[in-house]
Structure 1
């Protein structure tokens, strides 16, 4: 999300703000709508810029779960070239259409593929596999489609990310849920599948929600945070949070991210 100054929404009503949050389209991973409504610290490693450096050298690259293609589009623009073979996968049909429109002019083929299905590519087809915020890394499939010496370079969501907001709506969650996506566990899974982890870094980053419209849009867009979220189902909690933000200021949460740089042995 952008990192703006807190806005002044005056005395806009709960109903007006919620209606605005509901009306915004959720396709893709463009978070520019949050400008002036929410802010999120960025990881120090600058994933999209670092990805651009990898794309500048790649011969055959695969972007897994590309969303609307925005991050790959930025990285290719920054790199100044598209690898001779460039493919992206995406499982949600609205995002497949959006990514295709954005990436096809850059020479990237977008393939509709469910996130848990085997990857529809030959063994050793790519020297670079990237992904920003995959739902669940398919380590065996990643290793399979990488050529020997190839690289997996990705930014993952870490454990208990934005759980201050999640648990506001769902209540305290058990430790086995809070510890999912832990970088140490993912390192072990990656190594068990046959990757050598070259670098693994983790950071915890501050998020601020400045109005209830931002909360509503965020939970509609990132659907796995509060599964089955609707305004109707959570109206009492939303009203209370609206009043809290109005009286006390921004609702603060923290995201967790980790950077994976791994290699398939030669």
Structure 2
């Protein structure tokens, strides 16, 4: 299939390296935008942080989000499982007093029993039993998760099926797991906001940053599907996909 000049230009322009967990390369320029949720994870996390004595931020990425929640309590830790991000997180967070700890298994966290009174988790996998082990009595687990149907239209257009196991990850499944491990859920909600891409280059940058959306993604294999999405953008001015988000605040019994 012959590709037009604009498509080729956007594909050739993809040369920015993604680091940490920062999408400003395509959001600051308005090439990708997201609809608003009816809640703010950041506002709620900031309030919880100011009333905590010992905090863990699970899956901190490059520490971009956690660094905005200052002032910190004396005891604060962050985990990161993606090796390239560990050094980025340490450079950003350790001068602020945060202990950055690499880890590899959700069910074997390198912490003591009852060590934290607040655990934050934004878009990171977790084992509810292990979270409960390291959380003190009356402690709070606060998480915003990416649901299993996230951006499924991308997969449909590229002819790549969603991960069958992950596609079942939703508010009910997560809540059931949390409730089974001595928690009381005090707040929860699930929504499907729109994420909009205005050029095919922004979408490719996004897919390279989140390899789990389309496993083994590469330009050669998925070129025809990408061009079909490019044609949608040419026709409609944008390419919309539904995100899948849910939030849970739970307190230990």
TM-score (norm 2): 0.92
Tell me the C-alpha RMSD between the 2 structures. 1.7
Task: Provide, for residues 75-95 of structure 1, a one-character-per-residue CA deviation record: whole Å limited to 9, x for no partner.
Answer: 22xxxx111100000011111
SS at match of 2:221: coil
Partner of 2:16: 24
- C-alpha separation in 1, matches of 2:140 and 2:202: 36
Partner of 1:224: 212
Q: 2:112 aligns with which of 95, 105, 122?
A: 122
- Unmatched 5+ stretches in structure 1: 1-10
- Unmatched 5+ stretches in structure 2: none
How many residue pairs match? The answer is 248
- C-alpha separation in 2, matches of 1:74 and 1:231: 35
Contact 2:155–2:162, Cα closer than 8 Å, also in 1? no
Partner of 2:143: 154
Q: Does 1:166 align with 2:155?
A: yes
Partner of 2:250: 262
- C-alpha separation in 1, matches of 2:85 and 2:20: 6
- C-alpha separation in 2, matches of 1:57 and 1:143: 19
Q: Which structure 2 residues correspond to residues 1-266 of structure 1 after superposition, within 5 A?
A: 13-21=6-14, 23-35=15-27, 36-76=30-70, 81-134=71-124, 136-171=125-160, 173=162, 176-177=164-165, 179-265=167-253
Task: Provide, for residues 229-259 of structure 1, a one-character-per-residue CA deviation record: whole Å limited to 9, x for no partner.
Answer: 1112111111222222123220111111111
Using the TM superposition, give the Cα deviation of residue 105 of structure 1 relative to its aligned residue in structure 2, in angstroms: 1.8
SS at match of 1:199: strand
